[in-house]
Chains A and B, each alone.
Chain A
Amino acid sequence: MLVSALSQGPSSGADALLPTSITLDNFRFVLAEAGFLRYLANSLAVAGLTVAGSGVLALLAAVAVARFRFRLRTTVLVMVLIVQMVPLEALVIPLFLQVRDLQLLNSLLGLAAVYIALALPFAVWMLRGFAAAVPAEVEEAAYIDGCSWGRMFWSVLLPLVAPGLVATSVFSFITAWNEFILALTFMNDSDQYTVAVGLRQFFGQYTTDWGSVMAASTVITLPVMVFFLLVQRGLVAGLTRGAVR
């Protein structure tokens, strides 16, 4: 009971709990008048770039560490692991200065580039498990059939690692979709707000329009939920496989 209260209450039940009778007015206001569609489009663009960029880079890197033995391999792995622990609070100041120097403040591209870097370590770590799980015999068989390494990568490794790629994309997507500090710091122009930052607009200093806040929160959560539900099977398989190691 507690589970459903905690997990369902805030996301879907929020509107039902509101004392006033619920209409779709809040949603209409949020989407049509408050410019939330713009934030949604911005977030989708940034998250899409992040998923694509981190997916490709992480896949290549994961294959390298999983299918090859080379010097410094362990060092690379440990570095990837440690980088993941660096708090965003420590990076936000230098990243702000760096992005500003590159004239990429207020740019969705600049934000996406940073998100790709943020999503990469976890993606590499996760995909590594999938790439390592492909039996060596499968790879050998491909070579015996005369496959080049590139062919083998495309037609043998890639399909087998695909479920892992699905799980990784979900996490990269969520990283970009939910991220708050950097989006808050980089985007001064309200046209470039992502949903996480745009939501703040409804949260007033003295009075808060809770109807709008909740409607907007629901709108924000929906895409992630849909994405999650679409890939749920692959995701849970990926999670459990990654977790047990």
Chain B
Amino acid sequence: MADPRTARPAGAPADPGPAPRAGGARTGPRRPRLSARTRRRWLPWTLLAPALAVIATLLLAPLARVVWLSVQDYGLDNVVSGRSDYIGLDNYADLLTDRYLWTVALPNTAVFALVAVAGTVAFGTLVALLLNTLARPARTAVLGCILIAWAMPAVSGTYVWIWIFDVDDGPVRHVLQAVGAVGPGGFNWFAERSAFYAIAALNVIHHGFPFVAVTVLAGLLTVPRELNEAALLDGAGAWQRFRHVTVPILRPVFAVVTVLSTIWDFKVFAQVYLMPGGSGGNRDVLNLGVWSYVRSFANQSYGLGSAVAVLLTLMLLAITVGYVRTLFRDEELR
């Protein structure tokens, strides 16, 4: 409680709190102290108010509204009239008994996330280890390239991957045809679910590994050099040093990076939506996010789309709880 801020003179010009200006800084000892304390109570809330207001109106209120929409039969006529049509949990009943959810949308979402997260974390860690061994100028250069991959908009990145695997003109086709692996007809990578998602995974890994690399690198820089030297003296190989020295120390970093990637990869949208067939043309390749969007905006059934969105949110919330727990385990917030 010994806080320097209590010593602060009252009546600051920028003071947003209810401190009486008339009290003055050096008059009675009683009133300024009281007002300073009142102000100390209100100042943080005044600072927080604008941000909280924006978050509440543009993030929390819509979240509540999507839950409300999910228990309605909300179609185009409702959009026009603004009237609501409460139908209870019917949307959820429809959703959960739909074979499509269990055989297509959910596997597409979860299996893809699993693969993409594993790939992102593994590749990002490898790059971080590489960066850690580089000298400063080389490290800065590689880091620059990595940041570009990160900064590249998902939309243009996705188009590049589509082009690479393009049926008619893509480099992959040219290479495969040159070595005789595909016939003159080429091969449509996007028609088939697993090939479609393999490309999506490449795209997402390419876009997501820089975050892992930079974060893990930051962690690596905190590993005391003596530990590695000691292990080296004991005859530990590179893998053993990584496994028994680096991993235990970086466990919290890996946890955060994995959970964050999981959350991001569960809600991949543009990378799927923009690929051929991904915006609804090929029902085999939709994931939960795209399905919700197509349901709402292409099929004009906002209620069912909302139910899908709520389902996705609940899954992410479960993962988030794990994330918050991980964060809170390392003191710091208290």
Residues of A within 8 A of B (CB): 3-4, 6-8, 10-11, 14, 17, 19, 56-58, 60-61, 63-65, 68-70, 73-74, 76-83, 85-98, 113-114, 116-118, 120-121, 124, 136, 139-140, 143-144, 146, 148-151, 153, 174, 177-178, 180-181, 185, 195-196, 199-200, 203, 208, 210, 213-214, 216-218, 220-221, 224-225, 227-229, 232, 235-236, 239-240, 243-245
Query: Number of contacting residues on B, CB 8 A?
Result: 102
Taking a contact as CB atoms under 8 Å apart, the answer to whether A93 and B55 are in contact is no
For the complex formed, measure the closest distance between the CB of A198 and the CB atoms of chain B, giving whole angstroms: 10
Residue of B whose beta carbon sits closest to that of A143: B8
| Residue of A with least CB distance to B82 | A101
Which secondary structure dominates chain B's binding surface? helix
CB-CB < 8 A to A121: which residues of B? 55, 59
In the assembled complex, the CB of A202 is this many whole angstroms from the nearest CB of chain B, namely: 9
A216 CA to B156 CA, complexed, in Å: 8
Q: Complex: how many Å from CA A225 to CA B146?
A: 11
Please provide the 6 A-B residue pairs with the shortest distance between their CB atoms, ordered closest to farther: A150-B14, A148-B12, A217-B156, A117-B58, A94-B62, A7-B149
Asked if residues B145 and A4 are in contact (CB atoms below 8 Å), the reply is yes
Q: Which chain B residues border A65 with CB–CB below 8 Å?
A: 44, 48
B54 within 8 A of A: yes
Whether the Cβ atoms of A150 and B320 lie closer than 8 Å is no
Assess whether A85 is in contact with B9, with CB atoms less than 8 Å apart.
no
Task: Judge whether B289 and A89 touch: CB under 8 Å.
Answer: yes
Interface hub of A7, A98, A117, A124 (most chain B Cβ within 10 A):
A7
Contact A82 B48 (CB under 8 A): no
> Which residues of the other chain, B, contact A203 by a CB distance below 8 angstroms?
159, 274
The main secondary structure of chain A at its interface with chain B is helix
Which of A82, A120, A151 contacts B54, CB < 8 Å?
A120
20 residue pairs from A and B, CB less than 8 Å apart: A3-B142, A6-B206, A10-B206, A11-B160, A89-B312, A93-B69, A93-B302, A94-B306, A97-B65, A114-B58, A143-B9, A146-B9, A149-B14, A174-B151, A180-B155, A181-B269, A181-B270, A196-B270, A243-B215, A245-B332
